[in-house]
Each structure stands twice: as C-alpha cells, then as structure tokens.
Chains A and B, each alone.
Chain A
C-alpha cells in the first residue's frame, strides 16, 4: 500500500503551518531520515524527515502553501513495485481540492479595541500578539539604549516562541542576550543591572521556570524600593508565557496571575488582545517599577486589530470594557477573555445582555470599573484559567462584597481552572480548563434563567 505522508504537528499548539519548501521531487527515492521538506510553524522553520523508505509518488501540496492543517496528506510514498496508478483516486484528490484555497484558513482580525484608547480616525492593522510584543520591545529599544532583552534562546534561536524574531539582527548581541539555563542567576543579574538604572526585559521561556527565580523577583526586585526608602528600585520587565498551552502537563501549565498580583512592589499585566499586549508592554518597559507581564502561548498566534499610531501605549491599571450589557458583568483577563466573549455572544442569542470587562492589569487592579459595572448589572461572573483558591476572581468577589454588597442580586460565581495539577491526557486536560459552556451556565445561574 502506498504511504500517505501527513502534515506533521511540530509544536504543542500547532494546528496548521506553511509548507515552505520541498527538498524532494516526484520520482525521488527517499530513505528514512532524509529531509523531505521545510515546514514553517508560527514559531520556527523546521526540517521534516522521512520515516519510511520508498519513492515519492506524488506531491499533493505545492511548496509555498499556507495554512496546511496538521494531518493533511502532503505527499504519497510508493513502496517497491508500486506505481501512482495503483493509488486509488480518493486518497489524493479531495485533499488537493481542499488545500487549493488557503485564503480561507487565514484568521480574520478580531474585534477592534474600543475607541477610548485611541484617537478618532485611527487606522488599524491586523497583527498577531507575537508580532505586537516584538514591536513593543523593538520600538522601546530604538528609543532608549538602556533597554535590553535577556533570556534563554532570545537571540540566535530567535526566541523559543519566536517573539524576539529579528531582534538580534537589529540590536546586536550587546542588547539581545542569550543566557545559560539559569533562571535564578540571570534574574538576579538583570535585577542588579536594574538597580543601576538600566531597564532589562527578562524573558522567561515560561513562567513555570520563573519559579526558580521567584526569590529574586519578590525579595530583590519588588521590595528594594521600599527597603531603601526610595533610593533605588528595579525598572525591569519579566515577561513570558504563562498558563496552559496544550498537552504540556502539570509543570508547564501553571497560571501565576494571582501569585504575583498578591505582592506589593510589583505591577502585573496579563493582556488578551495584540493591541493591549503592545500598548501595555511599552508602558511596562517605561515603568520605574518591576512589572510581571504574563503572556499566553495560544494567544501568540491570534491576530487582532492594532492601532497604527506612533507610540501607542496602554496605561497599566486600567480595565477595558469590550462590550457593554445590562444583565450581568463578566470579568476576565488574558485567555479567559476568549471564553468570556464567546459566552457573551451565545448569551446574546438567548436574550441575555452581558457586559464584558478585560482587566488587562491585575496589579494595580481597576476595581472601580468592575464595581461601577456591577452596580449597573447587579450580577457578576469572573473567568480565569488559574486555580480557584485565592484566585483573582475570589479577590474580585471580596471587593464586590465590600463595595457593592447592596447592589448584588446573586452571589458572584468564579469560573476558574479546576483544583487539580494539569493532566496530560487530552480529555482530562479539557476537563481541567474552563470552557465557554461553564461561563454560559454561570451567567444563567446568576441571572436565574
């Protein structure tokens, strides 16, 4: 039987990729281990090797095709004595038809940010969160020589998640610095440099690894301004992926939002959209205080409208109302916003009008916007991916009890990740994370529908 060669998944979150280049042609003999093609994911360009031996009978996807879904047949490998004529038509034909329209797989830009952040008449461009973060860093590095980027694989590798792609070329090795795998050590070095007034951006490959460095982040970066009576502090940004990606298990999926939000001396941002990622990161780099900047791997490849403004910034500590509504306030941040917004769409179809607030910053936290909204809607559901105990949602519930008790017509419900270490199995992982259904159900519960 001819063997179908399938489009491979080359990262935990890869769903599709670009077949950049074929290195074999039809009729070529290939052996296992031979490089067949170069495949570009959103993170990197990778070589794809043959597993089986045989002759390339047909190339089903032309090189340069975008948006090729994982597991799509991309070529047919013939074993000894087989010919393409032996291949039944249905193996190849329908697939080719599907792939001939790559435009359909390009993701449309999502909702534009509300106009409050930008002047009227602003034009927008569609940009991924990944690109927006890179632009924010690059723009700030062009403006200020004191800003530099340090972390594992940020330079020559072009970023473990490709966020710093191209930055080494532009800024050189003095300012885009690859470190050994020593989070505790390089975090301390960066904070020491910040004590002297430099403005380091420290990239953690993931915030899970920042646990190795959390003493330096808390005890050295967050507390020094206070302990020195204001003489010195650390104008530094700690950024990187946070929370669950896809199937990476308990040690790579932790959401640290509520951990860092608890610490005086730190600021904490956790943006959802590309525009907020860009604007908040620029503000964070300019901030005189240590800022924890929590990103999300799944959101990296998501495109949003980003304002085409020179020097677009978003203030730290200000929430954004994504949609207005009367019946319930849904408060979320980071990737939780995806569920909040999907739920609001579905609830609208059922006649429930939800106001959706993106906190964007967790410290300082814009409780005023939340309280004001709940005074209007009288109901609140919080949505986040982290654990339920001492969550951002439980803090918001406490604020609402203290500041809007008489306005509440129902107990606040916190939709969170489940109270378990993240499992690996696909079905269990799905169960451990929040879902749009859970948000919809929570809203129905607080609105007594």
Chain B
C-alpha cells in the first residue's frame, strides 16, 4: 500500500523534544480514545454509526500544529480525532457518543454530528462532501470580515469524487478564499479502494482545473503533515487563495463498527501498522533522540489512559437528555 507514495522528500526542521512529546500525547489521546469508543460500542453504550480514526492520527495533529487561534475546521463523520486535536474536552465528546446530556450537543447529535463554537469546530457532517462547500463558506466569512483566519475543510478520498467539491473549489479559487482542502486519503471509501473509484490516483491534482496548488503529503508522518500545513496556511493567509493537501494515510479499523473487512487483507493492514504507524514513528524519534526515556513514555501512556477512562466514566454516568430536549434547539 502506498501511503507515502508521492511524498516529497523534505528536509525536516530541527524538532525539539518538547514538540515531539506534544504530538505524541495528542496522537496517543486520539488512539486510546478511539479504542475506548470501540469498546463502548461493543458494550452497546454507543449506538448507530461510529467511525474510528485509528491510524490517521498524524493528519489532524500535524495540521492543528500548523493552525492558529481563530482558524476554523470542519469535517465529515469520522470526526472524533479532529475534535480532540482542536482541544475539545474528551468527556464532552465521549458523552455525545453515548447520547448523554453531558455531550457537546447534549446528546442530540451523536458521533457524526458534533460542534464546538468555542473551538471553531464546525462539525461533524453526515452527508459525504457537504462539509466542503460549508468549509469554503467559513473561509468566505473570514474574507468578508477582512480577518486573516483560514479554514480547514477535511474530506476523504471517497468524497473527492462528489461534484459539489468542485463547485466549491471553483468559487474558492475564483474569489481567493483562504480555505485549505484537506483530502484524507485513507485508501478506501467504505469498502471501495481508490483504484476502483477514481479515474486518476493523484487526488492532490484535483484542483488543477481551478488553478489551486496541491501537494501530496505522507499523512503517517506528523512532522511532514505539520510542515505541509504551515506552507498551506501561509499561502492562504497571504491572500493567494485556496490550497489542497492530499494526506496519504490509512485507516486501521473498519469504515464503521459494522465493517466486514472483505475488501482488504489482514496482511495489508498489519504491514502498515508495522511499517508506518504514526505513533510508533514519533516514539522512536523520542527515544532515539533521547528526548524521553521508556519510563517517561510509560508515564504519558498512563496519564492518557486515565484521561480516556475518566471520559468514559463521565459518558456512561452522565444522564440521558431530559425529555423536554426533544423540542429545544429547533429554532433560535
């Protein structure tokens, strides 16, 4: 499998131990959180659809490291990682997964529909690709207001074939909207591989017709992601219009919790885990660079487990929403 297929060889900047540890913690939080969510789903505490982000952690963590206060993000339904990476409270996210009053949407949104106006996280959208014009709209608002914020509109390789994305790209380029289109190419649109769904394999070139620059990035390498993100952010903030980042990544788990996984082999998944895991990669850098000892890392693991465990406790103990909530928040 080719997650790193077209990644430009990039001389990585000198990275401090502090920065590596930050990325490590954030990626580990997402992974442990998602593992716990999978467990709670299996116990029947989370219902409906639940799409886990395991394997793709470097994408959101790297891009959030490139973002600044006030920048906005919007994504599809595989959204737990994005929420944790932008600083939303794991308790509130997990409680939304369990459909409880303590959830970000007070239990009315669920796994796929979650928002935080405080963190400029605009969802959490269940219709494949609908978030992309919306994300361009966030960028439109920034331009209209004359601020220098940028928006990150995330979508998958499956969504990349939806028509509305190209409508949005055309307008984003025409109007020079500060929007970063992030294609999280995890190789499979549900069970359909990129090769079976896309006439051309290079999704980062999809903006060529609109003169939008694009770049393929090793989405399993948080430092490469961050560097590409910084370049894209600088491009958008300087008023040059949108930018496309194709993040080549891989989803370890099924499309959702009810995925029979008949479309790929166990060996394929295992090979990526062994060779490309984004968290192992940073762990090695930490230990080899003598930024952290095994004991330090164990302490971090323990701390993250505690955070996730507390989130799960909160999410299972938070009450269900009051019945009156059925009729609130329909109109302002």
Contact = CB atoms under 8 A, between A and B. Distances in A.
A230 interface: yes
Interface residues of A, number: 41
A188 B331 contact: no
B326 to A, nearest CB: 10
Given A192-B136, A289-B331, A231 B167 contact: no
A188 B115 contact: no
A229 interface: yes
A336 B140 CA distance: 39
Contacts of B105: 227-229, 231
A219 interface: yes
Given A189-B140, A192-B141, A227 B123 contact: yes
B164 A185 contact: yes
Given A185-B170, A188-B164, A233 B332 contact: yes
Given A195-B138, A220-B134, A225 B171 contact: no
A224 B144 CA distance: 22
Interface string A224-242: 1111111111010000000
A229 B108 contact: yes
A182 B167 contact: yes
Interface string B85-113: 00000000000000000011111110001
Contacts of B332: 225, 230, 233, 235, 287-289
A180 interface: yes
Interface in B143-179: 144-145, 163-164, 166-168, 170-171, 174
A265 interface: yes
Nearest to A364: B331
A232 B170 CA distance: 27
Interface stretch (B53-61, B124-132, B180-188): B124-132
Contacts of A148: 144
Contacts of A270: none
Given A188-B134, A233-B332, A224 B123 contact: yes
Contacts of A224: 115, 123
A174 B328 contact: no
A216 B115 contact: no
A174 B135 CA distance: 19
A404 to B, nearest CB: 25
Nearest to B96: A229
B250 interface: no
Contacts of B140: 189-190, 192-193
A265 B135 contact: no
B331 A229 contact: no
Given A188-B164, A227-B123, A198 B144 contact: yes
Interface in A202-225: 215-216, 219-220, 224-225
Contacts of A439: none
Contacts of B135: 192
Contacts of A289: 331-332
B138 A220 contact: no
B122 interface: yes
A227 B115 contact: yes
B73 to A, nearest CB: 12
A194 interface: yes
Contact of A225 (B114, B124, B167, B331): B331
Contacts of A189: 133-134, 136-137, 140, 168, 171
Contacts of B329: 225-226, 228-230
A220 B115 contact: no
Please indicate which of the listed interface residues B116, B133, B136, B328 has the most CB atoms of chain A within 10 Å of its own CB: B133
Nearest to B136: A189
Interface string A126-167: 000000000000000000000010000000000000000000
B330 interface: yes
A71 interface: no
A186 interface: yes
B130 A196 contact: no
A191 interface: yes
A165 B235 CA distance: 37
A11 to B, nearest CB: 28
B117 interface: yes
A228 B332 CA distance: 12
A230 B104 CA distance: 10
B133 A195 contact: no
Given A180-B174, A193-B138, A265 B123 contact: no
A313 interface: no
A389 to B, nearest CB: 26
A185 B144 CA distance: 18
A230 B329 CA distance: 5
Interface string B203-226: 000000000000000000000000
A194 B114 CA distance: 17
B74 interface: yes
Contact of B167 (A185, A229, A265): A185
Contact of B137 (A180, A194, A215, A232): A194
Contacts of A228: 104-105, 109, 113-115, 117, 123, 329
Contacts of A265: 330-331
Contacts of B134: 188-189, 191-192, 195, 216, 220
Given A189-B133, A189-B137, A264-B330, A227 B108 contact: yes
A194 B125 CA distance: 16
A187 B109 CA distance: 22
21 contacts: A184-B163, A185-B164, A185-B166, A186-B167, A188-B132, A189-B134, A192-B136, A193-B137, A196-B72, A196-B141, A198-B141, A219-B126, A224-B115, A227-B105, A228-B329, A229-B104, A229-B108, A229-B115, A264-B330, A288-B331, A288-B332
Given A192-B135, A197-B141, 20 more contacts: A148-B144, A174-B144, A180-B170, A184-B167, A185-B166, A186-B133, A192-B138, A193-B138, A193-B141, A195-B141, A196-B138, A216-B130, A216-B134, A220-B125, A227-B105, A227-B123, A229-B115, A230-B328, A267-B331, A288-B332
Interface of B: 72, 74, 103-109, 113-117, 122-127, 130, 132-141, 144-145, 163-164, 166-168, 170-171, 174, 328-332
Q: Which 3 pairs, one residue from A and one from B, show the smallest C-beta to C-beta distance?
A: A192-B137, A188-B133, A185-B167
